Structure 1
Amino acid sequence: MTRKLGYVQAFNEAVRQEMEANDDVFCAGEDIGGFGGVFQTYAGLQKEFGDRRVVDTPISEQAIIGLGVGAAVTGLRPIVDIMFMDFICVAFDQIVNQAAKLKYMFGGAATIPLTITTGGGGGLSAAAQHSQSLEALICHIPGLKVVHPSNPYDMKGLMTSCIREDNPTIMIKHKRLLGMQGEVPEEPYAIPLGEAKIAREGSDVTVVAWGRMVNEALDVAEQLAGDGIDVEVIDPRTLQPLDTATIIESVRKTNRVLVVHEAVRFGGLGAEVAAQIQEEAFDHLDAPVGRLAAPFSPVPFSPALEQHYLPSADRIADGIRDALARPGA
């Protein structure tokens, strides 16, 4: 029987196994050494591998990313941690103009096996500067690969692929999923980047979601099944590159689709998904592509306001029923 492992522990195990297999892999970030990271994602690694391979850094995100870029381009395989996703903004020059572009600038001769890990998403009442979902910003940058696992199994497999990847990757760990338990094999395994997963098969409507919203959508799908509504849930897993083919195949089957994400609706990644669907599957749509996301506002600190701000199971159910209520084309 496959053992149960937490989301955090699955991340930690992927890092540990890759560090055991390859001496070029090392970690650096704020408080990841003796403390194990603010969310304990790096717990125990410094004790096992020493402070030269698990490095506590100053509070300087730009320096952390710069360290990673330099180490990667000179032959190592660094994993650098930005504690909260909001703080990638401090290091955007290093991420956007260095990490993402060096391979291109050197005509493909440079290899940048850099993994950036960060905690994203709301739901912890961490306020506006510690709760954002900024995946649309980084998915817009050519040269970066972006992953956002929704469960422990995918976390371990995707993190393993990130570390082995010869291009810069950004691993988004959703903060509300840190305690989630799931079946995870003990042996190392890799989930290819750029391959979506059909998290639940259905025939009436497609829901495309990522991160914590996948689990919300799955819960809603089970509830609606009792009403005779058969929901298919697609989890892209990798947001850049996006597996559009799997999404389009699902839409051609169900003819109706709702895209759900935590980030603000305006300019969100859901708009890109919707655009690609209408470009490639317009004739198969029986209703406009629906989008459910956060309002155009900073994330509130108040628990009550934040709960209202974030997409919920009830709102997903309403969005699905709305998609089904629209008359066929």
Structure 2
Amino acid sequence: MVLLSSCAVRTDQLARDPGTVRMALNGWVGYEASAEVLAHILREEMDYQVQLVRVDEQPSWQAIDQGVIDVIVENWGHEDLMELYGPGGNGTAVDGGPNGNEGVIGWYVPAYLEEEYPEITTLEGLKENTDIFRTAETGDRGEFLGGAPGFVTQDQGMIDAFDLDLQIVFAGSEPAQITEVRRRYAEEEPVLFYFYEPQWLQEELDLVKVDLPPYEEGCADDLEEVPCDYPAYELNKIFRAGFVEEDDPAYRFLDNWTWTNDHQNEVARMIADEGLDSSDAAEIWVEENPEVWRPWIPAGFDAG
């Protein structure tokens, strides 16, 4: 047991094996796609060991603070956690800059529903037609299909602020939500649900985002009353401060890494839709896209 008695020692500075990179693995397939591709390159091209630590979004930050992981590869906002763990707080987390993915969260309906109810993708049209989303579980209220409870969400505050007769029913996980949306889509049933991009299913199903009052600075500060849509997200990396200070090739590789929504969706589709093991999907993508990832390798690097 190691006792830390000096406030001069940050919790993230606990000793680690310099040949091992510890990467958070959050619970959606797009994140997994990014993490597995990076892990494959670190292992096969740079001779590092990689530990993928399965952990939810917010606990990932706590793990960085405790020195347990080195990097979160896809962060969706979390300004509150940056205030707590970033330079103005504990000083254990560092904004690693954009990872290249553009994040969108919103409310979606299938295109066939818009054809039947052209006004359904407006706030007023939604308010007038919540009854079409009623289910046995929600009774007299329309169902709003949520994803995983741990995802970034302000849906209840939006429902309350917009005075919508809706009840949130959480699918429980990304795969469970996708299964349910696909089932209803195949039957052309009404469904209103929380969803996002990048997400490979957007390329398979014809979905329409509901047009809600746009996000403005401060409009979501009180999550009990949110009279606006989600903000757009420039998804970024979060590094453990000690990992940045070590400045070894693994850090510089991850710092160099950016890719697009399309790149992520290619790998995510192989995992979630085609049933490939995530490491196999990553290997296929790496073999087929050397022109994309070779510039991420630090200049002059030699695995030796």
TM-score for the superposition, normalised by structure 1? 0.29
Structure of higher RCO (CA pairs closer than 8 Å, 6+ residues apart) = 2
Tell which structure's C-alpha radius of gyration is larger.
Answer: 2
